[in-house]
Amino acid sequence: MRPTVHDVARAAGVSLATVDRVINGREKVREATALRVEAAIHKLGFVRNQAAANLAKSRVYRFVFLIPEGTNSFMRRLEEEARSAGQAMASDGIELRVVPVAAFDADALAAALNGLDLADIAGVALVATESPSVRRALDRLRDGGVPIVTLVSDAPSFQRNRYVGIDNVAAGRTAASLIGRFVGKTPGKIALVAGSMLVRDHVERRMGFEQVVRSEYPYLDLLPVVEGRDDRATTRSVVEQCLDSDPNIVGLYNIGAGNAGVIEVLEARPVEARPIVVAHELSPHTRRALELGLIHAVINQDAGHEIRSAVRTLRAFADRSPLIESQEQIRIEIYLRDNLP
């Protein structure tokens, strides 16, 4: 049976109130008394029940999730999962507020961060855009003692507590291995389409992709990255121009979103003129494209897992309690036409 505060109080020869003050760091307790309580805690193996403590104090965790606006289906799924998590966790004292921000707009993200009241929030999660203005805004939060988690796209040089998302370099390497295997020994060029090279996840995916192609598939030439802004129409336009301008393209890696635009271009081309395509995130669009053979593989990450992990992480930092590392690892999933869930 797990030891309780009553057991600690008896072992230390003090009152329950004294044990509570030592555990929670409230009011001054004589050093000798505090040492007795700490010794009893260690001897008994007492572990504080943070959930019960929070319930007793009616503590409320107010977390803010800043998620990019737009047609990016994965970001919309993140937003949906965040709102669902907020409803499901309300009974645990968690208030989760979603704040939409303009995609790839560092100044808009910084303005949203600067508009947060430090006294009213217990943690912030955001899809990071690297810029001096965002850095300054995050510094203000950290200086105010607010835990920060980056989602999907990391910014390790920023003042953040933890990144929650897949290893994007590994995702890019995976995409290169898939395209290389599908293409076989056919020499040719690979088209690269990103949302924006201002976000680290797209930069890291491109970096991982290049590492594998250069070392394992030297007969494949990488074209310069074109940006589709994760927008359907823009992505359709840049992919169409790319394929029309070079008949030697044998593969295409869509690093970001805008998959609907890629699919529209592929559908308009004869089968023999379509490259091998690897994209990110399983959605109704990419599922259909896999089934039709327009896209050959999809690299996916679980949006619900990322949101729940971000909430657990922010709460752990707020409580100064440990995380279960294996529970918070976001895994890379690979879907082909043959293993669709």
Tens-level pLDDT at each residue, the chain (341 residues): 778 878 888 999 988 778 877 876 656 788 888 889 889 888 888 876 555 555 444 468 999 999 999 999 999 999 999 999 999 998 888 999 999 999 999 999 999 999 999 989 999 999 999 899 999 999 999 999 999 999 999 988 888 999 999 999 999 999 999 999 999 999 999 999 999 998 999 999 999 999 999 999 999 999 999 999 999 999 999 999 999 999 999 999 999 999 999 999 999 999 999 999 999 999 999 999 999 999 999 999 999 999 999 999 999 998 888 888 888 999 999 999 999 99
Show the tokens assigned to 289.
């494209």
Q: Say how far residue 45 (Cα) sits from the centre of its chain.
A: 35
What topology does CATH give the domain 5-48? 434 Repressor (Amino-terminal Domain) (1.10.260)
Q: pLDDT at position 48, please?
A: 63
- pTM of this structure: 0.81
Domain with CATH 1.10.260.40 in the chain: 5-48
Q: pLDDT at position 56, please?
A: 45
CA 61 – CA 89 distance, rounded (Å): 10
Domain with CATH 3.40.50.2300 in the chain: 58-165+303-330, 168-300
Q: Per DSSP, what are the bridge partners of residue 63? A: 96, 123
Q: pLDDT at position 323, please?
A: 85
Q: pLDDT at position 35, please?
A: 86
Cβ burial 35-47 (10 Å sphere, 16+ → b, else e):
ebbeebbeebebe
- Tell me the torsion sign for CA atoms 288, 291, 296, 299: positive
Residue 91 DSSP one-character state: G
Using CA atoms, how far residue 92 sits from 63, 77, 257, 288, in Å, is: 13, 23, 34, 38
Show the tokens assigned to 232.
């359907």
Neighbouring CB atoms inside 10 A of 338's CB total 6
The hierarchical CATH code for the domain 58-165+303-330 is 3.40.50.2300
Q: Which helix (H) or strand (E) holds 95?
A: strand 94-101
Q: Is 6 buried (19+), middle (13-18) or exposed (0-12) by CB count in 10 A?
A: exposed
Are 245 and 226 in contact, with CB atoms under 8 Å apart? Answer: no
Q: pLDDT at position 209, please?
A: 98
Q: pLDDT at position 193, please?
A: 98
Q: pLDDT at position 91, please?
A: 84
Are 199 and 104 in contact, with CB atoms under 8 Å apart? Answer: yes
Q: pLDDT at position 127, please?
A: 95
* C-alpha triplet 203, 204, 209: angle, nearest 5°: 100
Q: pLDDT at position 55, please?
A: 44
Are 206 and 278 in contact, with CB atoms under 8 Å apart? Answer: no
* C-alpha triplet 285, 288, 289: angle, nearest 5°: 85
CATH number assigned to the domain with residue range 168-300, chosen from the 4 options 3.40.50.2300, 3.20.20.100, 3.40.50.720, 3.40.30.10 = 3.40.50.2300
